[in-house]
């Protein structure tokens, strides 16, 4: 029996029905405990008869159960009706698309309206579309070394093996030779991705597509694919077309947990840290700004103490004919009711201002309604202005239903007020 459960960050799921009628079966809960234990308990917290989700969002599938974990930056008492859930689900999909975790074309209005599709099904369909396109164009072949006992002499004879195996059968030759065929790592990764999908897909339409693609796929051997295989791939002109398929295949294969005991509770989890996703999303939206004179960078670090470094989320440089100014942003995916940042956050922003010689910095929080803000001044540290603002930004447009793609301009305006 197929079930879809949609929850938000920091909500709980237990063996007992909640007010939405959602619950876990004991075997599903045990599988979740096992998965979390294998990942240092980072995805959720074990509680009595259940789990409490953390800041990770995405989707988990266990057998016939699909759990979608959605972000939420509304206040706790917001009515969580169907439209509310759909709004945040679509917001997550579009944020993943902006951050290149999901192919843009897949986040179309048509796909967003397919209620029977889970987030996993979207990823599955992207992978199948990419593999289908590659098969139509023709998969690439590569040379590789093949060692075998053959009836024809080709390549180099392995004399020791040849004597050992062909002393009686002198019509055979144990040789090592070059073969040009489909048997190489890239195609083996695609095959493994298809075979994993065939085990875990619950959607009958996708299941049918997988079987049809497997019929058209070259006859190559199945190998166990690990992270090492992906790390060893070398990009070339011939493999450019494979990039999207390999990216999705990596997510599917490395996050797949087969049920060894009875094969009924195979598990796949695609989860994203909302704090990191929020940081990347804000950075990419700032890169799209239409305001002139601004440049945006991330991953900028400075040596702080001995071997330790500090790194703000985003560094903004504003250049005018008169001067150059630097602004710092640290993104925080939290719902807070008042402008009351922690001492540790303020001390961190103070250090950023000093090290980057920035006049202004901002702790940036998501919010679905605008809040009055002002810069607070640090009393020491640098000559001239030295201040920090607790900023709130509405991620939705004026109608409150879709993401506001002018958010970058609005964030920059906060430094001018």
Give the chain's radius of gyration (CA, Å): 27
pLDDT recorded at residue 235: 86
Q: Are 103 and 225 in contact (CB under 8 A)?
A: no
pLDDT recorded at residue 105: 65
Take residue 354 and report the two structure tokens written for it: 């000093």
0.95 exceeded by pTM = no
pLDDT recorded at residue 256: 93
pLDDT recorded at residue 109: 55
Does residue 310 sit in helix, strand or coil? strand
Q: How far apart are CA 5 and CA 29, in angstroms?
A: 14
Q: How far apart are CA 35 and CA 395, in angstroms?
A: 32
pLDDT recorded at residue 57: 96
Using alpha carbons, list the distances in angstroms from residue 390 to 74, 337, 395: 17, 12, 16
* Mean pLDDT of successive 10-residue stretches along the chain, which has 417 residues: 90 94 94 92 94 95 94 68 87 92 67 65 92 94 72 66 67 69 92 95 92 95 93 89 94 88 81 96 94 90 92 94 92 80 92 95 84 86 89 89 92 90
Q: How far apart are CA 51 and CA 29, in angstroms?
A: 8
pLDDT recorded at residue 300: 85
Does residue 144 sit in helix, strand or coil? strand
Q: How far apart are CA 389 and CA 362, in angstroms?
A: 5
Q: How far apart are CA 93 and CA 152, in angstroms?
A: 56
Strands (E) across 352-393 are located at 360-366, 375-377, 387-393
pLDDT recorded at residue 128: 95
pLDDT recorded at residue 262: 66
H or E segment and range at residue 354: helix 343-355
Q: Are 71 and 289 in contact (CB under 8 A)?
A: no
pLDDT recorded at residue 203: 87
Q: Are 5 and 28 in contact (CB under 8 A)?
A: no
Q: Are 352 and 328 in contact (CB under 8 A)?
A: yes
pLDDT recorded at residue 196: 95
Q: How far apart are CA 297 and CA 178, in angstroms?
A: 47
Which residues sit opposite 174 in a β-bridge?
149
Q: Do β-strands 50-53 and 44-47 pair in parallel, antiparallel, or remain unpaired?
A: antiparallel
Residue 257, C-beta contacts closer than 8 angstroms, at least 6 positions apart: 31, 34, 35, 38, 266, 267, 268, 269
Q: Are 313 and 304 in contact (CB under 8 A)?
A: no
Using alpha carbons, list the distances in angstroms from residue 106 to 57, 98, 112, 123, 129: 19, 12, 9, 9, 10
Q: Where are the domains of the chain?
A: 3-137+186-274, 142-181, 288-414
Nearest one of 224, 213, 206, 255 to 101, comparing CA atoms:
255
């Amino acid at each position: 029996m197929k079930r879809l459960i949609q929850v938000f960050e920091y909500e709980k799921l237990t063996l007992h029905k909640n007010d939405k009628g959602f619950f876990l079966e004991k075997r599903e809960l045990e599988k979740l405990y096992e998965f979390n234990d294998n990942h240092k308990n980072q995805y959720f917290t074990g509680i009595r008869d259940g789990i409490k989700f953390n800041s990770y969002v995405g989707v988990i599938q266990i057998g016939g159960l699909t759990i979608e974990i959605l972000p939420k930056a509304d206040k706790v008492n917001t009515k969580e009706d169907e439209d509310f859930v759909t709004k945040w689900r679509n917001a997550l999909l579009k944020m993943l698309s902006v951050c290149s975790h999901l192919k843009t074309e897949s986040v179309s209005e048509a796909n967003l309206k397919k209620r029977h599709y889970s987030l996993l099904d979207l990823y599955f369909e992207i992978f199948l579309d990419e593999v289908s396109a590659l098969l139509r164009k023709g998969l690439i072949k590569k040379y590789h070394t093949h060692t075998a006992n053959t009836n024809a002499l080709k390549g180099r004879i392995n004399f020791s093996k040849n004597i050992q195996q062909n002393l009686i059968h002198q019509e055979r030759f144990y040789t090592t030779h070059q073969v040009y065929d489909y048997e190489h790592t890239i195609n083996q990764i695609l095959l493994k991705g298809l075979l994993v999908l065939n085990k875990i897909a619950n959607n009958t339409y996708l299941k049918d597509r997988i079987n049809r693609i497997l019929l058209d796929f070259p006859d190559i051997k199945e190998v166990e694919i690990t992270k090492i295989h992906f790390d060893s791939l070398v990009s070339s002109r011939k493999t450019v077309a494979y990039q999207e398929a390999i990216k999705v295949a990596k997510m599917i294969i490395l996050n797949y947990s087969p049920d060894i005991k009875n094969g009924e509770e195979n598990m796949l989890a695609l989860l994203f840290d909302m704090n990191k996703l929020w940081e990347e999303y804000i950075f990419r939206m700032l890169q799209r700004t239409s305001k002139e004179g601004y440049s945006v960078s991330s991953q900028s670090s400075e040596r702080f103490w001995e071997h330790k470094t500090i790194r703000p989320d985003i560094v903004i440089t504003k250049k005018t004919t008169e001067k150059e100014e630097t602004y710092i942003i640290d993104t925080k995916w939290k719902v807070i009711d008042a402008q009351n940042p922690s001492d540790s956050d303020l001390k961190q922003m103070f250090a950023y201002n000093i090290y980057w010689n920035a006049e202004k910095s901002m702790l940036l929080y998501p919010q679905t309604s605008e809040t009055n803000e002002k810069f607070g001044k640090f009393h020491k540290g640098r000559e001239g202005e030295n201040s920090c603002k607790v900023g709130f930004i509405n991620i939705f447009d004026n109608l409150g239903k879709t993401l506001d793609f002018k958010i970058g301009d609005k964030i920059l305006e906060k430094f001018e007020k």
